[in-house]
Homo-oligomer: A and B are copies of this chain.
């Protein structure tokens, strides 16, 4: 059966497995002090336009872990993080942020993006509120690129969010779980260099972008104090850090990370066009590797007999929202088979 259920169903890009094989019996230092990790960091720094001594990079194992470790390290105990109501940290991380002591200050958003005017209003209201000292202080803004619905922030939008955050003395953090699919999108104008210039921290997703596991956190300027020990304390420091280092070293050689994203994005465009041609309604424009399609109960029933996709949520009494996800491993043949099944 065809499977477009998600983008973490397959192993890793073959070049990654090949490199893990080659190095398997090479003795490497522990806890990320190995040469592969060093090379990975150099590659990421170069891609981000950071000098060799600029910023810091840490390799962690998963997305929820990374969001929790980084945000709780960025925030003062009395601070919370602003996010769209539908943000991953707000809904689907089992309260990891709250379990680390911080409130997620959720702002309503129709499409899952956090808009600057909405943020500005919130920050100004808070600044004027006489009860401010009795309330959770906004300490950071969380957004994801692409968002949970596969949408993108433009460079202009990101710049304005960054300006607003820094004008109010708060941090901007970007969750890049699927960043490859954003960077490679034809609709995207935000580069890694832009992220490094505009954010206080962001992560470059590996798990959903062709690695077995792993996310690369970038602090382009200032790293939270004692961060290495903090990572250890949160149970997020891998003894065999070179397993992460090797993977990101491969991903950041010869633009592999971008080419992984490009293939999935292009196939998503093709599938998306076919869906529209076949009369399906898209909930959002498809700009990365995820397609959100509206179907009647009957359409859904029929399509899921042939293809495994993700049920998202009901839309009123007669329709449902479904997600079709393409991954680093999706082949043109699979996309064609899906199109044929429509």
Residues of A within 8 A of B (CB): 3, 5-6, 8-12, 14, 17, 20-21, 23-30, 61-69, 72-73, 76-80, 91-96, 98-99, 101-104, 106, 130-131, 133-137, 207-208, 212-213, 225-226, 228-230, 232-240, 242-243, 308, 311, 329
Contacts and interface: CB of A to CB of B under 8 A. Distances in A.
B62 A134 contact: no
Contact of A240 (B78, B207, B243, B308): B207
A64 B231 CA distance: 11
Contact of A30 (B9, B28, B95, B242): B9
B62 A93 contact: no
A61 B244 CA distance: 12
Contact of A225 (B76, B136, B239): B76
A306 B94 CA distance: 50
A329 B25 contact: yes
B229 A94 contact: yes
Contacts of A62: 61, 235, 237-239
Nearest to A3: B27
A99 B80 contact: no
A101 B103 contact: no
- Which of A23, A77, A207, A311 has the most CB atoms of chain B within a 10 A radius of its CB? A77
Given A95-B80, A235-B96, A237-B64, A11 B5 contact: no
A213 B238 contact: yes
A29 B5 CA distance: 9
Contacts of A63: 239
A61 B219 CA distance: 24
A77 B133 contact: no
Nearest to A132: B229
B229 A133 contact: yes
Contacts of A101: 95, 98-99, 101
A20 B11 contact: yes
Given A208-B239, A235-B235, A240-B213, A28 B9 contact: yes
B77 A230 contact: yes
Contact of A96 (B95, B208, B233): B233
A78 B94 contact: yes
Given A9-B29, A93-B232, A96-B235, 16 more contacts: A8-B30, A11-B24, A17-B24, A64-B232, A64-B235, A65-B235, A67-B235, A69-B235, A73-B77, A77-B230, A94-B233, A98-B103, A99-B233, A106-B106, A137-B226, A213-B239
